[in-house]
Structure 1
Amino acid sequence: MSMTVAERTLLIESIQTALAQGTLETGEAVRRLRVEVTGLHQSQFAKMCKISVRTLVHIEHGEGNQTLKSLNAVFRPFGLKMGVVRIRREVN
């Protein structure tokens, strides 16, 4: 699973865009980043992010009420953090 830096950057940007557009849920984005970019198992990734495996599982499954600190911890390795985005309104 060898990716060039450019490929990794494009993948991260595509996931970030899908999140911002609302076409990808936060948990699925985290799972895709973990699997497709790092190739790590949940236990390895959780250890790297300094969170529990249980917290990671809850984030990936969209369960519970995650803290901003936990969410930022899983996004940080990819140069991302949670933020506020403008809602796109449909023009009729």
Structure 2
Amino acid sequence: MPEWEQASAIAVYKQIAGFIDTTGGATSNLTEEQRGRFVALCWIGQIYKHIANPKPSYVADWDELPEWQQRVDAAIFDAVEASLTTTSSH
């Protein structure tokens, strides 16, 4: 994995974790789509940070993403949320 991509993944993790924290965990009320959209937007921000002229497919809006990518983005949010729950319960 390229260094910029790893840094971007860490940044997105921190953005999700911060969002969960600042809402006091109320993000559990978000729909799967809302969770996925948040992850997608965070990732798009990282793309623009690291790539001057990204391909349109790299910064596609939610409705333009394939269904599998939408599910993966939502699952990423869920995985971060689960990791925080596991960390805080120890």
The TM-score, its normalising length taken from structure 2, stands at 0.39
Q: Which structure's residues are more often helix, by fraction?
A: 2
**TM-score (norm. length: structure 1):** 0.39
Of the two structures, which has the highest relative contact order with CA contacts closer than 8 Å and spacing of 6 or more?
2
